[in-house]
């Protein structure tokens, strides 16, 4: 009764959760490309897409991907053998336990008419599968906490999954162990299954179970006569063995029973089997009910992501389906960290310390963002920097074990984030190269607004400083905020020959370069010489510099002009952070 109430309650929560989660795939909007597509359009497009695939040759691709990437998990194997082995142990063991043990009334019984949970091979297999999961969990803990795989971050959800699985497995093994030892269990079984009534016979049988099969009895104690044991064995084989294999086959429980032997009676009196049974099924039901809301949901979403991405073609797919897929992909991420391990810009993370540079750490935030929750300004700025500090090398997409099309996700989210009001200096660097290659896609003002916002921010107070009647205070010597290398002081050698400006292709491109660029290269060097660092770090010239090094190459005084412009840009970026009230990194 209690069992059924709990089962159906958790199942109902699970199903409602599932429906809710799947509904969010059609309702949540990520980035700007999903902006004008309604939920019903998305549902319709998905149905059309799915039917189109099922009734076409693409079904063969689906079958292939299902076998290789979902069942055999080829993508994880390619990445790392230990990880693949770990995941196969957990997922293989758990799925087999689910099918054979948890759903035995439904599946195993209908397949094997001889099924008893106490009979081999089921008894042995249950233990084997259990050991697989426990070994897999062991490797998971080892990787995360001992080996400390680089950039594999462990968040609350990762802890939860390890804990819930561990509770289910360990309570299961303990339950089996205590049942093997339990005298109460033994009595129940004799009463309900053996058909024995004769007290003496039962006593002989009990002796055999105590001696050979792990039961601990409060009444009967060894050592036993060989004859009694032989008799007991005979009774066992006649009355028990048909539906109960030797508990030794339950090797995990049996080993535990041997270890716990000294306290067996206490445990039995305390009704530990009962308690453990409750812990075991409550943990299972909790895991089931919470599954759609936890990282474990990836067991549903990741295969879907793998299958969907295998058949959706770039540039040919319905935008409605792309929107749905991207919402779904957020659930497919299981925070395994492969993307971060292979990310090209991980060293920028080491330098800047912003976790959102790591792709795996961006995903949970994108979930929050897609769910429409408010993010603080600091978080938004950090995630914005993280999303922009990306060379679009696409390696994350290539290696993702869930087949998530991360590169398109970033492109989409980047466009959305950059339209918010915070200036992002990164758009003024070669990180914008791919955005530039795709500049035809966004609307013209959507394309240029972020660039203008960033330009204004990095300019600081340049326009004010350039006013004619402005009072300026001059300094000389080494300038605060410029780099620490000796080369960063070479501006002092400038004698104003203007070679740098004359040779500059950017300057040469304008009829009135001073108006277009604010200050010209030689003027910037001059500013530095006068200690006008705020003025030097403000002109448009810095950000329109193509870094071709013509100026530096042609300087007769060996002033490192281009490298100094780099230093000034770095300074301007830092000042943007300061102006927004952030701590310098």
Q: What is the DSSP code string of 509-545? A: T-SSHHHHHSS-HHHHHHHHHTT-HHHHT--THHHH-
CA–CA separation, 448 and 427 (whole Å): 10
The DSSP code sequence of 89-125 is HHHHHHHHHIIIIITTTTTHHHH-TT--TTSTTHHHH
- CA–chain centroid gap for 458, Å, is 34
Q: How far is the CB of 285 from another protein (least distance, A)?
A: 43
Q: How buried is 396 (Cβ within 10 angstroms: 0-12 exposed, 13-18 middle, 19+ buried)?
A: buried
**Nearest partner of 462 among 314, 568, 345, judged by Cα:** 568
Eight-state DSSP code of residue 218: S
Which of 97, 552, 559, 564 touches another protein by CB under 8 A? 552
CA angle 27, 30, 34 (to 5 degrees): 70
The DSSP result for 234-265, as a single string, is HHHHHHTTTT---GGGSHHHHHHHHHHGGGHH
CA 511 to chain centre: 53
Neighbour tally for 425: CB within 10 Å: 23
Closest CA to 205 of 241, 179, 236, 226: 236
| Residue 223 preceded by cis peptide, ω within 30 | yes
Contact segment (CB under 8 A) with another protein among 44-52, 284-292, 327-335, 336-344 equals: 336-344
Distance of alpha carbon 333 from alpha carbon 298, whole angstroms: 7
CB of 353 vs another protein, minimal distance in Å: 10
Q: Which is nearer to another protein, 465 or 516 (CB)?
A: 516
Indicate the residue among 289 and 451 with the shorter CB distance to another protein: 451
Q: Interaction with another protein in 161-180: which residues (CB under 8 A)?
A: none
Residues 252 and 131 sit within 8 Å (Cβ to Cβ): yes
Residue 323 · residue 26 · CB < 8 Å = no
CB of 354 to another protein, least distance (A): 10
Q: Which of 179, 189, 201, 178 is nearest to 244 (CA)?
A: 189
Q: Which of 1, 150, 262, 376 binds another protein (CB under 8 A)?
A: 150
How far is the C-alpha of 92 from the C-alpha of 82, rounded, in Å?
15
Choose between 106 and 351: whose C-beta lies nearer to another protein. 351
Q: CB neighbours of 376 closer than 8 A, spacing ≥ 6?
A: none
Two tokens, residue 380: 């938004």
Return the range that interacts with another protein (CB under 8 A); candidates 46-54, 300-308, 350-358, 415-423. 350-358
Could you say which of 39, 211, 317, 391 contacts another protein (CB under 8 A)?
A: 391
Q: Does 436 bind another protein (CB under 8 A)?
A: yes
Q: Which stretch binds another protein (CB under 8 A): 126-134, 190-198, 254-262, 391-399?
A: 391-399
- Answer yes or no whether residue 429 interacts with another protein by CB under 8 A: yes
173 close to 256: Cβ distance less than 8 angstroms: yes
Task: Mark residues 471-490: x for contact with another protein by CB under 8 A, - for none.
Answer: ------------xxxx----
- What is the rounded distance in angstroms from the CA atom of residue 240 to the CA atom of residue 299? 40
Nearer to another protein, 424 or 534 (CB): 424
d(CA 496, CA 473): 21
Which one of 364, 544, 564, 575 is in contact with another protein (CB under 8 A)?
544
Q: How far apart are CA 292 and CA 277, in angstroms?
A: 24
Residues 347, 371, 497, 579: which binds another protein (CB under 8 A)?
347
- Of 495 and 510, CB closest to another protein: 510
Question: Judged by CB under 8 A, which of 210, 250, 264, 348 binds another protein?
Answer: 348
Q: Which of 547, 578, 579, 580 binds another protein (CB under 8 A)?
A: 547
Nearer to another protein by Cβ, of 257 and 500: the residue is: 500
- Contact status: 290 vs another protein (CB under 8 A): no
| H and E: helices and strands count for the chain | 33, 0
**Residue 362 touching another protein (CB under 8 A):** no
Among residues 429 and 502, whose Cβ is nearest to another protein?
A: 429
How many residues touch another protein under the rule CB under 8 A: the total is 57
Piece of 15-23, 59-67, 248-256, 436-444 that binds another protein (CB under 8 A): 436-444
* Residue 396 near another protein by CB under 8 A: no
Binding of another protein by 351 (CB under 8 A): yes
Q: Does 153 bind another protein (CB under 8 A)?
A: no
* 277 lines the binding site for another protein (CB under 8 A): no
227, 313, 315, 440: which one binds another protein (CB under 8 A): 440
What are the tokens at 530?
């006068």
Q: Which stretch binds another protein (CB under 8 A): 42-50, 207-215, 324-332, 542-550?
A: 542-550
User: If binding is defined by CB under 8 A, does position 553 make contact with another protein?
Assistant: yes
**Residue 452 is a binding residue for another protein (CB under 8 A):** no
Given candidates 184, 211, 368, 570, which one binds another protein under the rule CB under 8 A?
Answer: 570
Residue 431 interacts with another protein (CB under 8 A): yes or no: yes
The residue range among 69-77, 84-92, 114-122, 564-572 that interacts with another protein, by the rule CB under 8 A, is 564-572
The contact pattern for another protein, residues 499-538, with x = CB under 8 A and - = no contact, is ------xx--x-----------------------------
365 touches another protein (CB under 8 A): no
- Which residues contact another protein by CB under 8 A? 150, 342-348, 350-352, 389, 391-395, 407, 425-437, 439-440, 451, 483-486, 505-506, 509, 543-544, 546-550, 552-553, 560, 562, 566-567, 569-570, 573
């Amino acid at each position: 009764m209690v069992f059924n109430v709990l089962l159906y309650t958790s199942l109902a929560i699970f199903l409602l959760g599932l429906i809710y989660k799947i509904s969010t795939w059609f309702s949540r909007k990520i980035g700007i490309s999903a902006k004008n597509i309604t939920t019903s359009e998305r549902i319709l497009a998905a149905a059309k897409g799915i039917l189109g695939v099922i009734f076409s040759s693409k079904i063969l691709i689906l079958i292939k991907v299902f076998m290789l990437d979902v069942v055999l998990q080829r993508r994880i194997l390619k990445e790392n053998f230990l990880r693949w082995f770990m995941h196969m142990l957990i997922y293989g063991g758990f799925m087999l336990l689910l099918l054979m043990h948890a759903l035995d009334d439904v599946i195993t019984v209908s397949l094997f008419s001889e099924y008893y949970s106490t009979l081999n091979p089921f008894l042995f297999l249950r233990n084997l599968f259990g050991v697989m999961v426990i070994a897999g969990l062991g490797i998971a803990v080892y990787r995360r906490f001992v080996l400390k795989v680089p950039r594999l971050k462990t968040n609350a959800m990762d802890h939860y999954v390890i804990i819930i699985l561990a509770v289910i497995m360990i309570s299961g093994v303990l339950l089996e162990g205590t049942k093997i030892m339990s005298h109460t269990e033994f009595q129940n079984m004799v009463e309900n299954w053996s058909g024995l009534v004769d007290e003496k016979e039962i006593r002989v049988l009990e002796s055999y179970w105590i001696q050979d099969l792990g039961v601990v009895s409060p009444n009967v104690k060894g050592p036993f006569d060989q004859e009694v044991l032989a008799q007991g064995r005979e009774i066992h084989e006649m009355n028990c063995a048909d539906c109960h294999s030797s508990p030794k086959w339950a090797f995990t429980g049996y080993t535990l029973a041997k270890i716990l032997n000294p306290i067996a009676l206490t445990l039995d009196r305390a009704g530990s089997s009962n308690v453990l049974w409750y812990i075991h099924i409550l943990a299972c039901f909790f895991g089931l009910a919470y599954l759609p809301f936890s990282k474990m949901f990836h067991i549903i979403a990741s295969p879907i992501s793998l299958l969907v991405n295998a058949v959706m073609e770039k540039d040919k797919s319905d935008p409605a389906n792309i929107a749905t897929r991207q919402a779904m992909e957020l659930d497919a991420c299981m925070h395994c960290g492969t993307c971060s391990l292979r990310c090209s810009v991980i060293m920028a993370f080491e330098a800047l310390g912003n976790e959102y540079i790591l792709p795996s750490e961006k995903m949970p935030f994108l979930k929050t963002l897609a769910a429409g929750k408010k993010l603080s300004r600091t978080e938004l700025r950090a995630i914005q920097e993280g999303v922009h500090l990306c060379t679009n090398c696409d390696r994350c997409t290539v290696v993702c074990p869930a087949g998530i099309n991360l590169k398109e996700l970033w492109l989409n989210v980047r466009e959305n984030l950059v339209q918010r009001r915070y200036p992002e200096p990164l758009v003024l660097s070669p990180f914008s190269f791919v955005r530039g290659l795709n500049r035809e896609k966004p609307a013209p003002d959507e394309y240029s607004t972020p660039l203008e916002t960033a330009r204004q921010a990095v300019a600081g107070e340049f326009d004010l400083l350039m006013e004619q009647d402005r009072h300026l205070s001059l300094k000389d010597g080494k300038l605060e905020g410029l780099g620490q290398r000796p080369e960063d002081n070479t501006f002092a050698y400038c004698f104003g020959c203007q070679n740098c400006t004359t040779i500059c292709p950017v300057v040469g491109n304008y009829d009135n370069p001073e108006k277009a660029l604010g200050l010209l290269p030689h003027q910037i060097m001059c500013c530095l010489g006068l200690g006008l660092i705020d003025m030097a770090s403000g002109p448009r010239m810095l950000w329109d510099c193509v870094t071709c090094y013509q100026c530096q190459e042609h300087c007769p005084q060996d002033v490192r002009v281009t490298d100094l412009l780099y230093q000034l840009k770095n300074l301007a970026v830092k000042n943007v952070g300061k102006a927004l009230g952030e701590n310098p990194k």
